Amino acid sequence: MEPSIHLAPRAEDNGYAVMVAQLLRQGLDERPEKKATVAKMHGRVTLVVTDLGLTVSLVFDGGRVTVHDGFAGIPDVTVRAPAEWHTKMSLVELEPRFGLPDPRGPVAKEVFEASKRGEIQMHGMWASLPLVFRMTKVLSVA
């Protein structure tokens, strides 16, 4: 099934929601191999931009992705970080074989260090590791 990206009602008023939807659409167009990854994704991920007071939720339902303004149900994973780190997370390097985050990449190292300092907080990550890795893959522009 060809993945489809949708904005939920009222999400068009949230600039970050619009950006995330655009990033997903253009990222899938640019790298069609990511479409198979999106098709395998099920779950809810909420992104909280702490310094801007913005919250965006992505609901993955086997190829259909809906981007919401605010929370959309109980998230499996919540990422809380300032805007700077949300932008940087999209630059995390992926290792070429499986498309997993490459721990040797300079940006991946920066993100890891920021997580250790508590500047990036990921709730639910360990229980939903495949979702986190796939999310990183589909949102990465590196």
Closer Cβ to other proteins, 8 or 54, answer by number? 54
Question: Is position 4 an interface residue for other proteins (rule: CB under 8 A)?
Answer: no
Residues in 55-114 that interact with other proteins by CB under 8 A: 83, 86-87, 90-91
What's the Cα-to-Cα distance from 109 to each of 83, 93, 116, rounded to whole Å?
18, 10, 11
Number of other CB atoms surrounding residue 14 within 10 Å: 20
Closer Cβ to other proteins, 25 or 42, answer by number? 25
Region at 75 (left for phi over 0; alpha for psi -120 to 50; beta for the rest):
beta
Quick one: which segment of 32-40, 49-57, 96-104, 122-130 binds other proteins (CB under 8 A)?
A: 49-57
Q: Which of 3, 5, 7, 16 is close enough to bind other proteins by CB under 8 A?
A: 16
Q: Which of 4, 6, 10, 13 is close enough to bind other proteins by CB under 8 A?
A: 13
Q: Which amino acid is at 3?
A: P
Instruction: Report the alpha-carbon distance of residue 44 to residue 3 in Å, rounded.
Output: 16
Region at 4 (left for phi over 0; alpha for psi -120 to 50; beta for the rest):
beta
Residues of this chain that bind other proteins (CB under 8 A)? 13-16, 18-19, 22-23, 26-27, 30, 49, 51-52, 54, 83, 86-87, 90-91, 141-142
